């Protein structure tokens, strides 16, 4: 579904108010930001092809602009540059306690520069924009990152994955925002119902994806 189609649906729910296009587009963009900041995200915004070249002696890595967060089921990996780039080696994410132990040799004290090594054995996520490899790798590597990626912003008449796979959810959220600003109670109720139904469908997809390949055990939180 293109952005223009989503705008038309929202305008229909608002009684075809003809001066609300800019507000509707802004609401769609805001709704997408809200959805992408949620605790649970769908598999169809996962980027499986992320790679970052890291030069030797550079422990700090800038993450892609569309990075939202790591995927729990796919640890960070690295490969060595050619000709030794066949093996993919996993790098575990460290807790801050483990990070301090590696950096200082204890859980207390100020942070010190970690001992360098040929290749990293772990990493710590500093923010949603950067991570630090531990210890500092003295060789060039290529990081392979599987992560939840922000979808293209609806600045133009495009279709992103939110409009492709969860249109009712996104349109419902955006419609509620516009209806609230117009104090249109009837439209608010209609779009709220749409958002709730869309959310149920979205959560059903997420739960199904999480259960793929897992054995369910009665009495346990699967």
Name the pTM for this structure.
0.82
Kindly list the strands in the beta sheet with 130-134, ordered across the sheet, starting from the edge strand earlier in the chain: 60-62, 130-134, 122-125
Kindly state whether residues 23 and 50 are assigned to the same domain.
no
How many CA within 13 A on the CB side of residue 157? 5
| Average pLDDT score over residue span 164-190 | 96
| 78 found inside a domain | yes
CA pair distance 97, 215, nearest whole angstrom: 32
| 214 found inside a domain | no
Least confident range of 69-83, 118-132, 183-197, 200-214: 200-214
| Average pLDDT score over residue span 17-34 | 92
Kindly state whether residues 92 and 178 are assigned to the same domain.
no
Residue-wise pLDDT tens digits, 82-130:
676 667 889 998 887 777 776 665 544 445 545 677 888 889 988 888 9
| 213 found inside a domain | no
| 80 found inside a domain | yes
Contact 63, 74 (CB under 8 A): no
Kindly state whether residues 124 and 171 are assigned to the same domain.
no
Residue 215, pLDDT above cutoff 50: no
Range of the domain at 94: 45-149
Count of the separate structural domains present in the chain? 2
| 172 found inside a domain | yes
Residue-wise pLDDT tens digits, 125-143:
888 889 999 888 999 999 9
The residues, ordered by sequence, that sit 6+ positions from 120 with a Cβ below 8 Å of its Cβ are 59, 78, 91, 133, 134, 135, 136, 137, 141
Kindly state whether residues 58 and 107 are assigned to the same domain.
yes
């Amino acid at each position: 579904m293109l952005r223009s189609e989503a705008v038309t649906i929202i305008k229909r729910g608002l009684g075809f108010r003809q001066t609300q296009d800019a507000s509707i587009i802004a609401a769609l963009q805001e709704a997408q930001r809200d959805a992408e900041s949620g605790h649970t995200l769908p598999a169809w915004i996962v980027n499986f092809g992320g790679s970052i070249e890291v030069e030797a002696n550079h422990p700090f890595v800038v993450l892609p602009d569309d990075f939202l967060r790591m995927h729990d089921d796919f640890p960070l990996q690295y490969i060595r540059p050619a000709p030794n780039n066949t093996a993919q080696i996993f790098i575990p994410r460290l807790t801050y306690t483990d990070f301090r132990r590696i950096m200082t040799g204890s859980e207390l004290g100020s942070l010190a520069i970690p001992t360098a090594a040929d290749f990293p054995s772990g990493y710590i996520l500093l923010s949603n924009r950067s991570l630090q490899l531990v210890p500092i790798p003295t060789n060039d590597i290529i990081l392979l990152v599987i992560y939840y990626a922000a979808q293209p912003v609806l600045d133009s008449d495009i279709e992103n994955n939110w409009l492709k796979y969860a249109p009712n959810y996104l349109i419902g959220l955006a419609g509620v925002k516009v209806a609230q600003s117009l104090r249109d109670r009837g439209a608010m109720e209609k779009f709220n119902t749409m958002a709730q139904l869309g959310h149920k469908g979205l959560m059903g997809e997420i739960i199904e994806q999480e259960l793929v390949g897992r054995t369910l055990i009665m009495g346990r939180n699967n």
